[in-house]
Amino acid sequence: MAIADLFTRPAAVPADGGGASSGAAAFGRRPVLAGAGLEDLFAWVDQVAALTQPDRIHWVDGSRAENEALLRQQVDEGKLIKLNPEWRPGSYLARSHPSDVARTEARTFIASAREEDAGPTNNWVAPDEIRATITPLFEGAMRGRTMYVVPFSMGAVGGPLSHIGVQITDSAYAVTSIGIMTRVGTAVVEQIAAGTPWVKTVHSVGAPLAPGAPDAAWPCNDEKYIVHFPDTLEVWSFGSGYGGNAILAKKCFALRIASVIGRDEGWLAEHMLLIRVISPEGRRFHLAAAFPSACGKTNLAMLRPTIPGWRVETLGDDIAWLRPGEDGRLWAINPEAGFFGVAPGTGESTNVAAVETLWGNTIFTNVALRPDGDVWWEGLTDDVPAELTDWEGKAWTPASGRPAAHPNSRFTVSAGQCPQIAPDWETPAGVPLDGILFGGRRATNVPLVVEATDWTHGVFLGSNISSERTAAAEGTVGELRRDPFAMLPFCGYNMADYFGHWLKVGQQLRFDRAPRIFQVNWFRKGDDGRFLWPGFGDNARVIDWIIRRIEGRVPAVDSPIGRLPRTDDLNLEGIDVPQADLEALFQIDRDLWLQETDLTEDFYRTFDGRVPAALYAELAALRYRLRATA
């Protein structure tokens, strides 16, 4: 069959259109639009179809009727379980193949023309070589399946900080997830028609179907490749259906490819949550915060302060795009439209706002199923249900001795459902940032909060985000897993050049309007291995100090590593943090810190001289201060 014929075939939905209204049968067809920019789009879709040989092509229009039809189709095919609408209306459970449960960093590649442009922290492959490897894998990969064409916008369609892309995929699960996580639809095709540049992303689960052969509940392939071409702004992902590998708009585009676009255009694509903090007096502040994966980013994004009068409005939980404005401030948007969050550990006591967000219209992946048709995961409730079906579909009881939900099980839900979403969270221009927080999971050394002395020092702190991989032997720093700016798996170019880019962006900001930078650490432990800080809602007490610093209402104490609070200035009313713990939270052990500067130098040296001199100067100054005051 000629490729052109494929476009005129009906959509991959029931003949009645699958929707509630009779007009719904129209979806799935190629948009009838004119515009020079469409030639490239149509030619590319032709090319990918010729390569992957799908049975049919479905142009996704993002309508509600289409979404309903795709969900129903997945239920009919045994790929989704419809949850009991009494408990979880409009919600579904997917169970992945047990081998396809997470991002596969070892199979994630940056195919820049020059190896040094990917840098030592990425898996580099030569573009020609990897095209020669993956093209045969994509050949015929969609046989027996529907190829969906999904036009999406990151940020409000047409917004000044927004960018658009198109994902081709053979996974209906990916389509329905992208529909939650981004803004999908024909308005994006109109942008392309008008000549707006767009990013090409192609995804196949890599499981072609022979005629009449049964499909798997979660088709995927043992061989996986997630390949980014930063020079041509493309992503090709093969073999995995898991969100981070299959929703290409998220980590692949909004971080890896967008970081490259940002480098070239003068802005930053960051692994950051975005919140508005409202003080008891009604003053509003905007903070972005970078934490490595699994350090409580979603919890902070939906913080319920324990100190009276303070409120937090959520703007984003995972990604922020930051651009210097003409006013000398740094403006931020959350380019996503939904949350793809880790379920275990999300509960009434840790993140009640997230629990409320998940009341319905949610796609869960790899959580446990209750006998009443609702879902459960470790940490959702204090009581553990007596029987469940675990994430692999096996009977489970508390005596089973294994988690019922996979530790990386997820929810996918619209951001708009969050009860404390900022009413203007979709404002295209974004919000002006007042502060940036960097955090890791450090049992030792790093205090509860430190303020950077200036932007360059802040970049130095960001370049040093790390978590302890192992417990430290006494008198030493534990082995550190470095995750600079929480971007280690997500920076699409040489991380040392990225540090330099941060410095350059700082130069475009007005010194008195640039966001102030802070390092925070909720995870410091005492000698007895206990967490010294209660965390969660009480982190608002640290935010309160940060805001008072931004407002210039409270002094700070200079220390060799940055500015610290006077402990009396922390609002600890209503909680009981013993004085000894408070002191331990801010204790600076100069010997340990000097050891840490050696580790930083070792880390910087892995970049073959590309780390900016300004950061080596920060390192030298830190050593000087540590020694001078010893």
**Cα three-residue angle 372-375-378, rounded to 5 degrees:** 125
Assigned token pair, 262: 């940002």
* Residue located via tokens 């100090």: 545
**Residue 98 vs residues 91, 222, 240, 270, 405: alpha-carbon distances, Å:** 22, 11, 12, 30, 12
Draw the binding track, 387-426, toward Mn ion (x: CB under 5 A; -: no contact): ----------------------------------------
Least distance to ligand OXD, CB of residue 297, Å: 8
Binding at 244: pick from ligand OXD, Mn ion, none (beta carbon under 5-8 Å per type): ligand OXD
Gap between the Cα atoms of 159 and 443, Å rounded: 41
Of 55 and 318, CB closest to ligand OXD: 318
Q: Which stretch binds Mn ion (CB under 5 A): 27-35, 233-241, 316-324, 537-545?
A: 316-324
Least distance to Mn ion, CB of residue 336, Å: 10
Binding at 468: pick from Mn ion, ligand OXD, none (beta carbon under 5-8 Å per type): none
Of 252, 295, 418, 491, which residue is the catalytic one?
295
Of 354 and 619, CB closest to ligand OXD: 354
Specify whether the CB–CB gap between 465 and 438 falls below 8 A.
yes
Q: Which residue is nearest to Mn ion (CB)?
A: 318
Within 34-53, the residues that bind ligand OXD by CB under 6 A are none
Phi, psi of 522 (to 5 degrees): -80, -5
Specify whether the CB–CB gap between 238 and 100 falls below 8 A.
no
* 538 lies in the site for Mn ion, by CB under 5 A: no
Q: Which residue is nearest to ligand OXD (CB)?
A: 293
Draw the binding track, 89-128, toward ligand OXD (x: CB under 6 A; -: no contact): --------------x-------------------------
Gap between the Cα atoms of 276 and 263, Å rounded: 26
* Residue located via tokens 């493309």: 234
Task: Provide the β-strand partners of residue 82.
Answer: 92
Pairing type for strands 225-229 and 108-110 reads: parallel
* Residue located via tokens 């975005």: 274
Specify whether the CB–CB gap between 260 and 190 falls below 8 A.
no
Q: Please identify which residue in 318, 426, 483, 544 interacts with ligand OXD, judged by CB under 6 A.
A: 318
Specify whether the CB–CB gap between 445 and 596 falls below 8 A.
yes
Gap between the Cα atoms of 623 and 614, Å rounded: 14
What is the size of the binding site for ligand OXD (CB under 6 A)? 4
* 262 lies in the site for ligand OXD, by CB under 6 A: no
Specify whether the CB–CB gap between 248 and 239 falls below 8 A.
no
Task: Provide the β-strand partners of residue 531.
Answer: 525
Nearest Cα to Cα of residue 365 among 34, 154, 91? 91
Instruction: Tell me if residue 295 is catalytic.
Output: yes
Gap between the Cα atoms of 518 and 63, Å rounded: 42
Of 272 and 550, CB closest to Mn ion: 272
Least distance to ligand OXD, CB of residue 459, Å: 21
Gap between the Cα atoms of 350 and 535, Å rounded: 9
Gap between the Cα atoms of 398 and 407, Å rounded: 16
Q: Please identify which residue in 54, 62, 127, 244 interacts with ligand OXD, judged by CB under 6 A.
A: 244
Least distance to ligand OXD, CB of residue 244, Å: 5
Phi, psi of 598 (to 5 degrees): -65, -40
The alpha-helical segments, DSSP class H, found in 233-319 are 243-246, 258-265, 297-301
Of 414 and 453, CB closest to ligand OXD: 414
* 336 lies in the site for ligand OXD, by CB under 6 A: no
Count of C-beta atoms within a 10 Å radius of residue 572: 14
Of 409 and 456, CB closest to ligand OXD: 409
Least distance to Mn ion, CB of residue 172, Å: 24
Binding at 457: pick from ligand OXD, Mn ion, none (beta carbon under 5-8 Å per type): none
* Residue located via tokens 């979806």: 27
* 440 lies in the site for ligand OXD, by CB under 6 A: no
Q: Would you say how long the chain is, in residues?
A: 630
Specify whether the CB–CB gap between 297 and 303 falls below 8 A.
no
* 293 lies in the site for ligand OXD, by CB under 6 A: yes
Of 38 and 301, CB closest to ligand OXD: 301
Binding at 170: pick from Mn ion, ligand OXD, none (beta carbon under 5-8 Å per type): none
Phi, psi of 20 (to 5 degrees): -70, -35
Within 317-346, the residues that bind Mn ion by CB under 5 A are 318
Least distance to Mn ion, CB of residue 274, Å: 13
* 299 lies in the site for ligand OXD, by CB under 6 A: no
Binding at 378: pick from Mn ion, ligand OXD, none (beta carbon under 5-8 Å per type): none
Furthest-apart CA pair in the chain: how many Å?
78
Of 292 and 430, CB closest to ligand OXD: 292
Of 244 and 500, CB closest to ligand OXD: 244
Binding at 434: pick from ligand OXD, Mn ion, none (beta carbon under 5-8 Å per type): none
Residues known to be catalytic: 295
Interface residues toward ligand OXD, by CB under 6 A:
103, 244, 293, 318
Chain residues binding Mn ion by CB under 5 A are 318
